[in-house]
A and B are shown apart, each in its own frame.
Chain A
Amino acid sequence: MKRILREYSPLVALLGLYFFGISKLMHKKSYDPLGVYKFPLFLGIIASVLTIALIVQACRHRKEKPEESVNWSTFFRMLGVVALSAAYLLLLRQIGYVLLTPIYIAGMLLVLGKRDWKRILLLSVIATIVLYVPFRYLFKVLFPKGVLTFLG
Chain B
Amino acid sequence: MLEMLKYLGEGFLNCLDLQTILVILAGVAWGILGGAIPGISPSIAIVLALPFTYHMDTVPAVAMLVAVYTGACYGSSIPAILIGVPGAPASAATIADGYELGKKGKGLEALGISLTSGVIGGLIGTLLLCVLAIPLGKVALSFGAPEYFAICILGLSIVAAVGNGSITKALISIVIGLAVAGIGLDSFSGAPRFTFGLSMLNDGVNDVSAMIGVFAVGEIFYSIYKDLQTKKIKMSIRIRIPWDKIKKLLPFTVRGGIIGTIVGVLPGAGSSLAGFVAYADAKNASKHPEEFGKGSFEGVAAPESANNGCVGGSMVPVLALGVPGSSGAAMIMAAFIMHGVVPGPTLFEQHPDIVYTIFAGLFMAQLLLFAVGYLCMKPFLKIIDTNITTLNVIIMILVLTGSFSLSNRLLEPAIVLIFGLLGFWMKLYGYSPSAMVLGLVLGGMLEDELRRSLIMSRGSFSIFFTRPLCLIILILSVASVAYGYIKSNKAAKKAAAQRSASDSDRN
Contact = CB atoms under 8 A, between A and B. Distances in A.
Are A and B interaction partners?
A: yes
Contacts of B400: 85, 88-89
Interface string A6-47: 010011001000100100010011111110100110011011
B191 interface: yes
Given A47-B179, A71-B225, A114-B389, A54 B447 contact: no
Nearest to A25: B193
A22 B227 CA distance: 39
The residue in A14, A43, A143 that gathers the most chain B C-beta atoms within 10 A of its C-beta is A43
13 contacts: A33-B454, A34-B454, A43-B179, A46-B171, A47-B179, A74-B225, A78-B224, A89-B413, A101-B397, A108-B393, A114-B389, A135-B405, A139-B40
Interface string B458-484: 110000000000000000000000000
Given A78-B221, A123-B390, A141 B408 contact: yes
Interface string A118-152: 00000100010001000100110111100000000
Contact of B189 (A30, A82, A108): A30
Nearest to B230: A113
Contacts of B413: 89
B396 interface: yes
B175 A50 contact: yes
Q: Which are the 10 A-B pairs with shortest beta-carbon distances? A: A33-B459, A30-B189, A28-B191, A21-B194, A141-B405, A78-B224, A108-B393, A47-B175, A33-B454, A112-B389
Name the interface size band of chain B: 35 or more
Residue of B48, B424, B451 contacting most chain A CB atoms (<10 Å): B451
Contact of A131 (B220, B224, B398, B459): B398
Contact of B221 (A54, A81, A113): A81
A10 B398 contact: no
Interface residues of A, number: 58
Contacts, number: 148
A59 interface: no
Nearest to A114: B389
Given A31-B189, A33-B458, A141-B404, A47 B393 contact: no
A99 interface: no
Nearest to A123: B390
Interface of A: 7, 10-11, 14, 18, 21, 25, 28-34, 36, 39-40, 43-44, 46-47, 50-51, 53-54, 57, 71, 74-75, 77-78, 81-82, 85-86, 88-89, 92-93, 97, 101, 104-105, 108-109, 112-114, 123, 127, 131, 135, 138-139, 141-144
A46 B410 CA distance: 33
Interface of B: 40, 44, 48, 166, 168-169, 171-172, 175-176, 178-179, 182, 186, 188-189, 191, 193-194, 196, 220-221, 224-227, 229, 389-390, 392-394, 396-398, 400-402, 404-405, 408, 410, 413-414, 417, 420-421, 424-425, 429, 447, 450-452, 454-455, 458-459
Nearest to A48: B175
Contacts of A75: 225
A105 B390 CA distance: 9
B339 to A, nearest CB: 24
Nearest to B406: A141
Contacts of B44: 139
Nearest to B224: A78
Looking at chain B's contact residues, is the secondary structure mostly helix, strand, loop, or mixed? helix
A112 to B, nearest CB: 5
Contacts of A127: 393-394, 397
A104 B5 CA distance: 59
Most A-side CB within 10 Å, residue of B224, B429, B458: B224
Given A113-B229, A139-B48, 8 more contacts: A36-B189, A36-B193, A46-B171, A78-B224, A82-B221, A108-B396, A109-B390, A123-B393
A75 B172 CA distance: 25
Nearest to B414: A89
A54 B168 contact: yes
Nearest to A47: B175
B429 A7 contact: yes
B83 to A, nearest CB: 14
B196 A30 contact: no
Contacts of B227: 71, 74
A86 B191 CA distance: 30
Contacts of A82: 221, 417, 420-421
Contacts of A139: 40, 44, 48, 405
A32 B455 contact: yes
A81 B194 CA distance: 28
A108 B393 CA distance: 7
Contacts of A32: 188-189, 451-452, 454-455
